[in-house]
Amino acid sequence: MKFYDREAEQQLLAEVLAQSRHEARMTVLMGRRRIGKTELSLRCGDDTTLYFFVGRKAEALLCRDFSEEIMNKLGVPLLGRTDSFAAVFRYVLQLSESRPFTLVIDEFQNFQRVNPSVFSDMQRDWDLWRHRSRLNLIISGSVFTLMKRIFEDYKEPLFGRANEKLTLQPFRTGVLKEILSDFRPDYTPEDLLALFSITGGVAWYVALLLDRGKTSKDKMLRALTDDNSPFAAEGRNILIEEFGADYVVYFSILTCIASGMKTRAEIKNELGIDNISSYLARLEQYYGLISKHQPIFAKESSKKVRYQIDDCFLVFWFRFFFKYQALTENMALKALGTIISRDYDSLSGLMLERYFARKFREEGRYIVGQWWDRRGCNEIDLVVVDPVGREAWAYELKKDAARYDAATLDRKVEAMLAQTPELRRMTMHTGLLCLQDM
């Protein structure tokens, strides 16, 4: 698959590259695994780019790899000590003083396991050399919690050193449409919804499906449970390091949310965990995997709180692969495929809501949310507010437009207006959004 989107990010990296020709610059690139950080960093625009991958092996072995990269790209041998990353990094800073280039350090957070003193060593040498050096340093990492701590915790050595910090997001809805159209010009809305539901716009998953010709809904769903499917263990692979020994509890909570349990009480009753609130708080604030939602314009103190997993792929993975892990562990993937085909429609309705919510947010003009009453009797799928134009739209979302009932939506809107004075001062519109509007 060709390289799509990321124009704004590439422009920023190009600007930083130009600045680094006068004084060293450090850019931190964060984002979940598979989002496309490495590809983006290697497209910074520099003719000479060194790439250091921090694998989980001894520091001396890593430094041997890095020394070979320096020799291959710059044609100069690393003299002296080669078993210390601090020595390698200092050498790179010195080299760039007379010969500017880019250094990409990928999976940087792994130094926490290899040698945690690397961070303080880097801080010392960066502070000493950055005004003389002309290094364009791009640091990339995918364990969100560690990267945030390394660069945003004021107690950490590298706090405040980054000149730029980028958090790479999934492809926008318009980009997903462009990509699918390139692979299959006659795609249907169902195909687009399936691509969004499974991948959430994460670049690697999109390429994994489309490069293999999985361009229709049915082909995409079947690909999930092919023999040796890379999707089967993916959720475990990207999260097990984040959670450590507590992964069973966190995985169980995420499975509950993915299965439709939205409130703290529902999750607590299902799992029987008394201190469920502390786990939910960490999933939200520390790991950044779930978010807490309230009805639009509800007061912060409102108890009408619901939780959701923000990553579409993880919703899919916990809803099917982890929930039915006995099938995956016993290689009964055909049985799991039958379950996915059977239950996909109910999940795709939720994903249709997410698609349109993301689409409106991408415009940068609207406040986007939902509304529900305390008992859950009245719910509105999507509420979009233009605070400048003083207009609001309440949408019912249906895959099948024939199921839309305008009178029912109007009654729900009356209930919402009765409880939401902010909306009573706006011009209110109602309507339907369905597959054909994607």
pLDDT tens sequence across 158-174 = 999 999 999 999 999 99
Q: Tell me the percentage of the chain whose pLDDT exceeds 70.
A: 99
Residue 246 reports pLDDT greater than 90 = no
> Distances in Å between the alpha carbon of 246 and those of 125, 240, 329?
36, 9, 20
E strand spans, 107-201: 135-141, 164-167
Kindly state the helix (H) or strand (E) to which residue 267 belongs, with its residue range.
helix 264-271
Residue-level pLDDT at 81: 66
pLDDT tens track for 46-69: 999 999 999 989 999 999 999 999
**78 — pLDDT class (breaks 50, 70, 90):** confident
**82 — pLDDT class (breaks 50, 70, 90):** confident
Q: What is the mean pLDDT of residues 292-296?
A: 94
List 309's β-bridge partners, or say none.
290
The answer to whether 85 and 111 are in contact (CB under 8 A) is: yes
Q: What is the mean pLDDT of residues 244-269?
A: 93
Looking up tokens 């020709």 gives: 21
How far apart are the C-alpha atoms of 401 and 395, rounded to whole Å? Answer: 12
Kindly state the helix (H) or strand (E) to which residue 392 belongs, with its residue range.
strand 391-398
How far apart are the C-alpha atoms of 327 and 334, rounded to whole Å? Answer: 9
pLDDT tens track for 313-338: 999 999 999 999 999 888 899 999 99
* Ranges 238-242, 248-252, 380-384: which has the least confidence: 238-242
Kindly provide the b/e burial profile for residues 179-202, where b requires at least 16 CB atoms within 10 angstroms of the residue's own CB.
bbeebbeebeeebbbbbbbbbbbb
Residue-level pLDDT at 341: 94
The mean predicted confidence, pLDDT, of the chain is 94
How far apart are the C-alpha atoms of 222 and 181, rounded to whole Å? Answer: 20
How far apart are the C-alpha atoms of 432 and 403, rounded to whole Å? Answer: 10
pLDDT tens track for 99-119: 999 999 999 999 999 999 999
The answer to whether 210 and 223 are in contact (CB under 8 A) is: no
